[in-house]
Amino acid sequence: MDRVNFEVHRRFLDEWIRPGDRVLEAGAGPGRFTLELARIGARVVVGDISSRQLELHAEKTAAAESSVEERVLLDIVDLSRFADETFDAVVCYGGPVSYVIGEADRALAEVLRVMRRGGTALVSVMSLLGSARAFFGHFPGLIEEFGWERAVAPIFETGDLTADVNAGHVLRMYRWSELEALLSRQPCQVVAASASNFLSVGNGDVFDDRFLELEIAACREPGALDAGTHIVVAVERR
């Protein structure tokens, strides 16, 4: 699934980022996609809320240092350090919008504000139904430990994974309809959407690169958008 997840995200970069674009990468982590942005020829401002992740980023992306303008501590809900329309594109991979819980509207408004009109933001969130499908085998243990009313019912109702159930890791997972509604409240339009992992879920023992093109195409089918571990969207600022 990691191979498919990377490939889905990488292809969105190839499709929507152009050489010479100035890109804000918010929630960059250790820099796997910074390397891809550098390969394309983008100029990257790297942001992350974790100073340790920025340290790792400097280590892991040393080969692409000429493409990195700066690395900054950054909270996606407050990009006030940047003026309006500063960037050609914004990349929010790894689910940073999933981690802001109740402030997703504010985060997306900031992402769009700092991006030029006509620019493209690439955003991925954790998928509620697809993640449940991928990790369904964990439910019996969670139900035994926490009970149905804590481990299953509220998660499917709200999409929220709480610290106690998820080993201290708090985040919100989305249905496609919820992500679509969230984006509809912003001055943008969806120009592409994809699941990340569809055929590969539960089939890692037989899935290989021969199926990759079939997988990429399947992930973009409207009926598959809820069925992967992540949902990836490209949105254009109006």
**Residue 137 is part of which domain span?**
128-173
What distance in Å separates the CA atoms of residue 224 and residue 197, rounded to the nearest whole number?
9
* Strands 171-172 and 22-26, sheet pairing: unpaired
43 and 158 belong to one structural domain: no
pLDDT tens string 147-187: 999 989 999 999 999 999 888 889 999 999 999 999 999 99
Spatial CA neighbour of 24 closest among 109, 100, 121: 121
pLDDT above 90: residue 203: no
Mean pLDDT over residues 211-222, rounded? 96
101 and 165 belong to one structural domain: no
101 and 199 belong to one structural domain: yes
Residue 57 near residue 29, CB atoms below 8 Å: yes
168 and 101 belong to one structural domain: no
114 and 155 belong to one structural domain: no
CATH number at residue 225: 3.40.50.150
Number of compact structural domains in the chain:
2
78 and 29 belong to one structural domain: yes
Which residue matches tokens 């010479």?
20
168 and 75 belong to one structural domain: no
Spatial CA neighbour of 65 closest among 40, 93, 43: 43
pLDDT tens string 223-234: 999 999 999 999
Q: What is the pTM of this model?
A: 0.95
Residue finishing a domain among 173, 188, 205: 173
73 and 132 belong to one structural domain: no
